[in-house]
Amino acid sequence: MRILVTGGAGFIGSHLCERFLKEGHLVDVIDDLSTGKITNLKNCLSNEKFNFYNDSVINERMMYTLIDKSDIIYHLAAAVGVQLIVEQPVRTIMTNIKGTEIVLDIAKKFQKKVLIASTSEIYGKSEKIPFKEEDDSVLGSTTYSRWSYACSKAIDEFLGLAYHRQFGLPVLIMRFFNTVGERQTGQYGMVIPRFVKAALMGEPLNVYGDGKQSRCFTYVLDVIEGMTALANDPSSFGNVYNIGSTEEISIENLAVKVKEMTESSSEIKYIPYEEAYGQAFDDMRRRIPSLDKIQAQVGYRPKVTLDETLKRIIDFFRKEIMLEKS
Ligand code: UDP
């Protein structure tokens, strides 16, 4: 197969490309390197079945050529990360909506399969745990920039499902819960790379709010297992699926765990949200997926525990820090 990965230089995209190349597919990546990094693709660049295009998904002419050539599109290009969203709300909204519009419109011309990466942010402040795909979105006020991300992704989902219903386009929506692993950067807000790096550098681990908010973190290769299983199952198209894990941990317990596992003497500091984000911030307390739908469809079950995931991320950052120092 010839596979197009938009946003392929990002954290999840780069792992996906490695997997496809291992399976012997041809892989094209388009990424404007706004949040992705070319170094994320260092295991792919020398492969003759791999092509990298440093360009934006907003470039319609380029997208036309790439989609025409491909059999399936994994549309991962998006502005993500809470910090980035709060700091650059216009970019979040424009990149996320316009990019998806272009992908779907061109895919329709060639009747190509499209997988759209969405997010558990869609559930917003819902307290109906665990979150099922058909549950309501409970989003906050437009005066909080963070909700622009969920709203932009909700539009992407509506649009993808509309193309499926109206034009029969094979579109599949994947709602990622907190995905973590090697190569994820803490630069745009993600908590695990931040905590691990801080612990290894002897810097404070900054827990926002009271630290009682919780998340379920999923190892990136487990997420990729779910994505590819769905993509290989024709009856999954036209549907929305949660992809994540149900192993819940509070952010303050996560800080303690990272500190223990790294044998760090870093301090755990509690920081009010206003101070962390420079504005009032609406966090969600708990975020747990129901995995019933994806389990019933493709038998998906995440395999890597949080402890094992953290071990791998700690090893990754230890090596990164050593390289930076040398
Ligand atoms: N968080 C934190 N310290 C940080 C970064 C994040 O305490 O340095 C908190 C954040 O407020 C949220 C949780 O960790 O409650 C997960 O944040 P992340 O940005 O990784 O993902 P989110 O679930 O918010 O999309």
Ordered per-residue pLDDT tens for the chain, 326 residues? 999 999 999 999 999 999 999 999 999 999 999 999 999 999 999 999 999 999 999 999 999 999 999 999 999 999 887 788 888 889 888 889 999 999 999 999 999 999 999 999 999 999 999 999 999 999 999 988 889 999 999 999 999 999 999 999 999 999 999 999 999 999 888 999 999 999 999 999 999 999 999 999 999 999 999 999 999 999 999 999 999 999 999 999 999 999 999 999 999 999 999 898 877 778 889 999 999 999 999 999 999 999 999 999 999 999 999 888 88
Q: Backbone phi, then psi, for 241, in 5-degree steps?
A: -130, 135
Which residue out of 123, 149, 188, 277 is catalytically annotated?
A: 149
CB contact at 8 A, 79 and 91: yes
Element holding 3 (H helix, E strand): strand 2-6
Residue 324 is which amino acid? E
Write down the pLDDT at residue 123: 96
Is the Cβ–Cβ distance between 286 and 129 less than 8 Å?
A: yes
What is the structure's pLDDT at 278? 76
Tens of pLDDT, residues 169-179: 999 999 999 99
Q: Quick: pLDDT tens for 248-264.
A: 999 999 999 999 999 99
Contact 150, 124 (CB under 8 A): yes
Q: State in Å: Cα 325 to ligand 1 middle.
A: 27
Which residue, judged by its Cα, is nearest atom 5 of ligand 1? Answer: 191
CA distance 263 to 61: 52
Measured in Å, residue 268 CA sits from the centre of ligand 1 at 14
Distance 191 CA to ligand 1 centre (A): 5
Contacts of 134 (CB under 8 A, 6+ apart): none
Distance CA 263, CA 171 (A): 46
Mutate to test the pocket of ligand 1, among 192, 195, 208 (most ligand atoms within 8 A of CB): 208
- Index of the ligand 1 atom closest to the CA of residue 284: 15
> What whole-number distance in Å separates Cα of residue 86 and Cα of residue 105?
29
CB half-sphere exposure, 79, CA atoms < 13 A: 25
Tell me the pTM. Answer: 0.96
pLDDT value, residue 277: 82
List pocket residues of ligand 1, CB cut-off 6 Å: 82, 178, 189-191, 194, 206-208, 213, 215, 251, 283
Closest residue CA from atom 19 of ligand 1: 190
Task: Give catalytic status of residue 149 as yes or no.
Answer: yes
Residue among 135, 26, 134, 6 at smallest CA distance from 79: 6
Q: Where are the alpha helices (DSSP H) in the chain?
A: 11-22, 60-69, 82-87, 89-110, 146-167, 191-201, 220-231, 251-262, 273-277, 292-298, 306-325
Residue linked to tokens 């402040």:
125
pLDDT tens digits, one per residue of 272-293: 998 988 777 788 899 999 999 9
Q: Which of 69, 121, 67 is nearest to 92 (CA)?
A: 121
State the distance from the centre of ligand 1 to the C-alpha of 86, rounded, in angstroms.
Answer: 13
